[in-house]
C-alpha cells in the first residue's frame, strides 16, 4: 500500500497549491517532482507516482494555480499566467520537494508544458536533473499536419472569442485542453503563434535564461505523438544551448505496442517497457 500525504503548498504570490507526496516503504534514495502538462491534473500521474515509490523514490504531484484541486473560487477571478506558474508555482514546489529531499537527489520530470518551463524557473539550481516527456515547442506550424487546421481555428477564433465571453477559457465545455485562467490561455496563444515559442514571444531576457541553464536534461519523444513533431522537440531543445541534451526518440514498434502518443507514457501499461527499461536509466 502506497503511503500518500496531501499537502497545501503556499506560493509567494498568495496561491495555495494542492500537492500529493507519495512515499516508499523503505528509505528513499531520491525525490521526483512531476510537473504537469497544460490542462492535465495531478490525478493523471497517480499510477506513475505510485510506481516510483516501488523503485525507492519519493514522488510528488501537484496542480498549477487555477487548475484542478488548486482552483478555488470563480475562474474569472483567477489572475495568473504561465510565467506565474514557473516563477511562483514551480518555485514553491521545488522548495517544498527540496526540503523533503534533505540532501538527496532531486529530479524534475516535465510532461509537455511541464518540460517547457524549466528555463524560466529561478531556483532550478536545486534540481539534479530534468527529464522531459513529450515536450517540445508549441509553435503551431510545427505541429503534426493533421492538427494544424484545428489549431489555427483554436488560436484565431475559438480562444479569443470564448475567453472574451466567459472571462476564462471554458475548455471542458469545448472539449479542448480544459478550463484555464484567461492569463494562461492568452499567454499560451501568444507563444504558440510565435516561431520561437516562449523565447520569441517573451523576448531577450527569457531567451538568455534558457541559454544559461546547465542542469542536465534528458528528453523522451515518440514518433506517433499526435501533437509534437520531431521539429517541435528539436526547437525546444535548441533553446538550452549551454547543455547537451540526451534525446530518446521511441516508436511504438520498439516496445511492442500500437500506440504511445502524447499522453501515453504515464499509463500503467508501460511500466515494464518505458518506465523500467528507459526511464530508470535516467534517474541515476
How far apart are alpha carbons 126 and 107 in whole angstroms? 9
Q: Is residue 102 classed exposed, middle or buried when 0-12, 13-18 and 19+ CB atoms within 10 A define those classes?
A: exposed
Among residues 134, 182, 155, which one has the least CA distance to residue 36? 134
Strand, coil or helix: 19 = strand
Q: Which residues pair with 10 in a beta bridge?
A: 16
Sign of CA dihedral 185, 82, 107, 247: positive
User: How high is the pLDDT of residue 190?
Assistant: 98
User: How high is the pLDDT of residue 263?
Assistant: 97
How far apart are alpha carbons 33 and 108 in whole angstroms? 5
User: How high is the pLDDT of residue 1?
Assistant: 67
User: How high is the pLDDT of residue 72?
Assistant: 86
Question: Structural domains in the chain?
Answer: 3-143+208-282 (3.40.50.1820)
Per-residue pLDDT of the chain (284 residues; tens, 9 = 90+): 689 999 999 999 999 999 999 999 988 999 999 999 999 999 999 999 999 999 999 999 999 999 999 998 899 999 999 999 999 999 999 999 999 998 999 999 999 999 999 999 999 999 999 999 999 999 999 999 988 999 999 999 999 999 999 999 999 999 889 999 999 999 999 999 999 999 999 999 999 999 999 999 999 999 999 999 999 999 999 999 999 999 999 999 999 999 999 999 999 999 999 999 999 999 98
CB atoms within 10 A of CB 243: 16
Only one residue has cell 473560487, namely: 73
Across the beta sheet with 217-222, the strand order is: 3-10, 16-23, 57-62, 30-35, 105-111, 129-133, 217-222, 246-250
Helices 204-211 & 230-239, crossing angle to 10 degrees? 90
pTM above 0.85, yes or no: yes
Q: Is residue 18 classed exposed, middle or buried when 0-12, 13-18 and 19+ CB atoms within 10 A define those classes?
A: buried
- DSSP string computed for 58-99: EEEEE--TTSGGG--S-GGG----HHHIIIIIIHHHHHHHHH
Amino acid at each position: 500500500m502506497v503511503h500518500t500525504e496531501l499537502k497545501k503548498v503556499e506560493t509567494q504570490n498568495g496561491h495555495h497549491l494542492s500537492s500529493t507526496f507519495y512515499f516508499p516503504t523503505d528509505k528513499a534514495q531520491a525525490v521526483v517532482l512531476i510537473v504537469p502538462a497544460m490542462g492535465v491534473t495531478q490525478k493523471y500521474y497517480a499510477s506513475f507516482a505510485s510506481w516510483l515509490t516501488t523503485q525507492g523514490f519519493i514522488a510528488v504531484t501537484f496542480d498549477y494555480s487555477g487548475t484542478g484541486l488548486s482552483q478555488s473560487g470563480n475562474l474569472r477571478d483567477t489572475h495568473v499566467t504561465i510565467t506565474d506558474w514557473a516563477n511562483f508555482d514551480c518555485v514553491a514546489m521545488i522548495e517544498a520537494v527540496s526540503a523533503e529531499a534533505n540532501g538527496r537527489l532531486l529530479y524534475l520530470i516535465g510532461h509537455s508544458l511541464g518540460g517547457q518551463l524549466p528555463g524560466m524557473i529561478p531556483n532550478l539550481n536545486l534540481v539534479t536533473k530534468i527529464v522531459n516527456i513529450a515536450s517540445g515547442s508549441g509553435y503551431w506550424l510545427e505541429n503534426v499536419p493533421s492538427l494544424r487546421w484545428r489549431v489555427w481555428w483554436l488560436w484565431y477564433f475559438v480562444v479569443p472569442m470564448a475567453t472574451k465571453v466567459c472571462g476564462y477559457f471554458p475548455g471542458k465545455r469545448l472539449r479542448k485542453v480544459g478550463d484555464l485562467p484567461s492569463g494562461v490561455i492568452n499567454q499560451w496563444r501568444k507563444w504558440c503563434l510565435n516561431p520561437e515559442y516562449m523565447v520569441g514571444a517573451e523576448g531577450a531576457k527569457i531567451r538568455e535564461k534558457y541559454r544559461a541553464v546547465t542542469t542536465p536534461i534528458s528528453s523522451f519523444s515518440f514518433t506517433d505523438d499526435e501533437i509534437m513533431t520531431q521539429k517541435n522537440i528539436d526547437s525546444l531543445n535548441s533553446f538550452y544551448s549551454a547543455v547537451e541534451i540526451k534525446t530518446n526518440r521511441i516508436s511504438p514498434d520498439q516496445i511492442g505496442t500500437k500506440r504511445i502518443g502524447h499522453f501515453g507514457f504515464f499509463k500503467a501499461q508501460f511500466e515494464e517497457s518505458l518506465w523500467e527499461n528507459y526511464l530508470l536509466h535516467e534517474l541515476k
